[in-house]
Structure 1
Amino acid sequence: MSQIYLAGPFFSDEQIDRVKRVELALDANPTVTDYYSPRQHQKTDNPEFTSPWAAEVFQRDVNNVTNADIVLSIIDYRDEDADSGTAFEQGMAWVQKKPIIVLNERQFPVNLMLSESLTAYITKADDLMMYDFNETPPLPFTGELF
């Protein structure tokens, strides 16, 4: 039984759709019992996009990365690069020696800091339905680096 932290951008309709498809894949995966998706936890008692809101969301997300056993990092963002917040969370996971599962559906070139820190590299959200999150088998990065 592992707690998964789902790191990924959800700023556009395409990104929200991708995160929702990943959530559905995790729901369907028999090795997943629990996951935390920041997309579902943006509300605070403070107005959105204010400093108090940002401080609360930041602390909540940092606590959940720290408490997670695994980080699932969606690196599809824009301009063929990962979202900076997602990269920050993936870096936290690496420092804490947690398995990092990376999803790159658009298969754009990947920064070596992300490719070298991952445990498994996946290019289709549907493949997450069958990935063994208990054993976290390695799936090496394949693709173009920068």
Structure 2
Amino acid sequence: MKVYLAGPFFSQVQLDLLAQVHQALQQNATIERIFSPKDETNQAGLVENSPEWQTLVFKEDIGFIDQADVVVAILDYDHSQTDPGTAMEIGYAFGKQMPVVAVAVNGPQINLMLAGATKFFTTTVNDLAKLDFNAIPDQPYVGDVF
């Protein structure tokens, strides 16, 4: 399976969590490839935040999702809500009828639409190391939504 790893990487806490999730996915025998926007976009080296950079990164991220079989989304964010880019990636995947696996280690309350788009929800990163991505079970988010 090919995984697109969606999640924020704007702070050291987020970078650390992204690294933990990436490591857990690398340990999973059912995963052959991990697409990570943090590591794989802007290989052209365009100036960050330039119009050309924005266009390139958007197209690259969409292209990586199009190549993936599943999106793994980190819902933890510095605020009480999900990162808007991650939410968009979840919506795009759901629209393509692609399964979404969501992890939120701090167990935040999540948006109703994100909860509805998620096939498998966990608050434990280690679950990702042993999850059978070839046969993802239904394990929806259970809790309050906004």
State the TM-score bracket (shorter-chain normalisation): over 0.9
- After TM superposition, list the pairs within 5 Å mapping 1:1-146 onto structure 2: 2-43=1-42, 44-146=44-146
Runs of 4+ in 1 over 2 A off after TM superposition: 42-45
Equivalent residue letter for 2:130: M
- Cα offset, 1:46, TM superposition: 1.4
Q: Are 1:108 and 1:144, in contact at CA under 8 Å, matched by a contact in 2?
A: no
Q: Is the 2:8–2:83 contact (alpha carbons within 8 Å) kept by the matching residues of 1?
A: yes
Letter in 1 for 2:23: L
Paired AA for residue 121 in structure 2:
Y
CA distance in 2, matches of 1:42, 1:60: 6
2:25–2:129 Cα contact (<8 Å) kept:
yes
Specify every segment of 5 or more residues in structure 1 that has no aligned partner in the other structure, as ranges: none
Q: Work out the CA distance in 2 between the residues paired with 1:9 and 1:111.
A: 16
Report the aligned-residue RMSD. 1.0
- How many residues of Structure 1 are paired with residues of Structure 2 in the alignment? 145
Q: SS at 1:116's partner residue?
A: helix
What is the CA distance between 1:42 and its match in structure 2?
3.6
Instruction: Report Cα offsets for 1:37-82 as digits up to 9, x if no partner.
Output: 1110243331112111111111000111122110111111122110
Residue aligned with 1:91, SS: helix
Identity %: 34
- TM-score between both structures, scaled by the size of structure 2: 0.95
Unaligned runs of 5+ in 2: none
